[in-house]
Amino acid sequence: MQLSDAPETIAVREGEDFDHGRLAAYLHGKLPGTDQSLAVAQFAGGHANLTYLLRYGSAEYVLRRPPLGPVAPTAHDMGREHRVLSVLYQGYPLAPRAYLYCEDPSVIGAPFFIMERRRGTVVRRSIPPQWGGGSDPVVNRKLSEVLIDTLADLHTVEPSSVGLAGLGKPDGFLRRQIDGWYARYERASTDANPMAPDLVQWLRDHQPSSPPATLLHNDWRLDNIMLDRNDPGRCVAVFDWDMCTLGDPLVDLGTLLAGWPEAGESIGGSGDMGMPSTRPGFLTRREAVDRYGRRRGVDMSHVPYYYVFGLFKNAVVVQQIYYRYHVGQTQDHRFAGFGQLAEMLLWLAQQSRQSVTI
């Protein structure tokens, strides 16, 4: 399965559209420029939440809503994402500012929020030709370094300084993550797989003590950051904050490393869910861990455990996406092979319990 690189915006996909007139009427006068006519396009990237570009002449905004069909409890929480993004920009300028939240599903069919538009380059499965197409080791090193540095910087933000001290419950966070992701897997399961319960029991039995809690993004990936079009070493935005909370920061790092294949490795073929991290110059997982540890001055000895957890979490995310495709909640054929990919990730997590390479 290969996911081809897509343009930034496309015509709204079939089955994912809404009544533009109703939205225009709702937004009229609430934001600058919304007294003009509205044009809507859809952002092509992403696998779960749906994101749209709203154009009012020269004024542009971004609309975020949950995926179609039933969603897991606490997942795809637009109210939470709006709450975070309405204040986080004050202490972490890479977070786009959210302006407005609508919980009334009668407007577009689901709760949604409106945030500012940021411009830049998002790197997905391959490095753009203007940045060497993966053959420039200097560019590749910059991409991997900024990915680690912007994560470490998020983890240094004092939650109370931006009004987010009550965002989550840090005590018992890691165990709730394990149990919560397993519950999501069971709800999205399409075939019984004995690897999942066995892996979850191992995660429970080997759980380390967590470091001091920080804000964490909870879905940190290369394609959730936007880079300056003229400088691959400068981040201009971080997206997808609907799972942001207070908790164990190494969960963020472990999730990131779980999508970080190295030379000779494959994560579902590394052309689909993995980063272009096998390219020359890209940091190895070990180098990434060391860089994060130096930037924050924290103990990194338990990172291999978080890597296994990250693989399990990624398997659940992929299975949830496949479930929506399997039951017909989305017609996006990019997801047809995600059931097999979820099994692959579970198997890799099982193998990594014995010999983790970080």
Q: Is residue 122 part of a domain?
A: no
Q: Is residue 124 part of a domain?
A: no
Domain count, the chain: 2
Domain that holds residue 34: 9-116
Do both 106 and 159 map to the same domain? no
Do both 46 and 149 map to the same domain? no
Q: Is residue 1 part of a domain?
A: no
Q: Tell me what pLDDT residue 67 has.
A: 85
Q: Tell me what pLDDT residue 260 has.
A: 94
Do both 183 and 262 map to the same domain? yes
Q: Tell me what pLDDT residue 287 has.
A: 97
Do both 77 and 133 map to the same domain? no
3-state secondary structure the chain: CCCCCCCCEECCCCCCCCCHHHHHHHHCCCCCCCCCCCEEEEECCCCCCEEEEEEECCEEEEEEECCCCCCCCCCCCHHHHHHHHCCHHHCCCCCCCEEEEECCCCCCCCCEEEEECCCCECCCCCCCHHHCCCCCHHHHHHHHHHHHHHHHHHCCCCHHHHCCCCCCCCCCHHHHHHHHHHHHHHHHCCCCCCHHHHHHHHHHHCCCCCCCCEEECCCCCHHHEEEECCEEEEEEEECCCCCCEEECHHHHHHHHHCCCCCCCCCCCCCCCCCCCCCCCCCCCHHHHHHHHHHHHCCCCCCHHHHHHHHHHHHHHHHHHHHHHHHCCCCCCHHHCCHHHHHHHHHHHHHHHCCCCCC
Q: Tell me what pLDDT residue 354 has.
A: 73
Q: Tell me what pLDDT residue 2 has.
A: 31
Q: Tell me what pLDDT residue 71 has.
A: 57
Q: Is residue 44 part of a domain?
A: yes
Q: Tell me what pLDDT residue 3 has.
A: 36
User: Would you give per-residue pLDDT tens digits along the chain (358 residues)?
Assistant: 233 345 688 999 888 999 999 999 999 999 999 999 999 999 987 667 899 999 999 999 999 999 876 555 555 689 999 999 999 999 999 999 999 999 999 999 999 999 999 999 999 889 999 999 999 999 999 999 999 999 999 999 999 999 999 998 999 999 999 999 999 999 999 988 899 999 999 999 999 999 999 999 999 999 999 999 999 999 999 999 999 999 999 999 999 999 999 988 866 543 445 799 999 999 999 999 999 999 999 999 999 999 999 999 999 999 998 998 888 888 788 888 899 899 999 999 998 887 655 6
| Residue ending a domain, choose from 69, 92, 116 | 116
Q: Is residue 2 part of a domain?
A: no
Do both 76 and 147 map to the same domain? no
Q: Tell me what pLDDT residue 68 has.
A: 79
Q: Tell me what pLDDT residue 4 has.
A: 37
Do both 51 and 147 map to the same domain? no
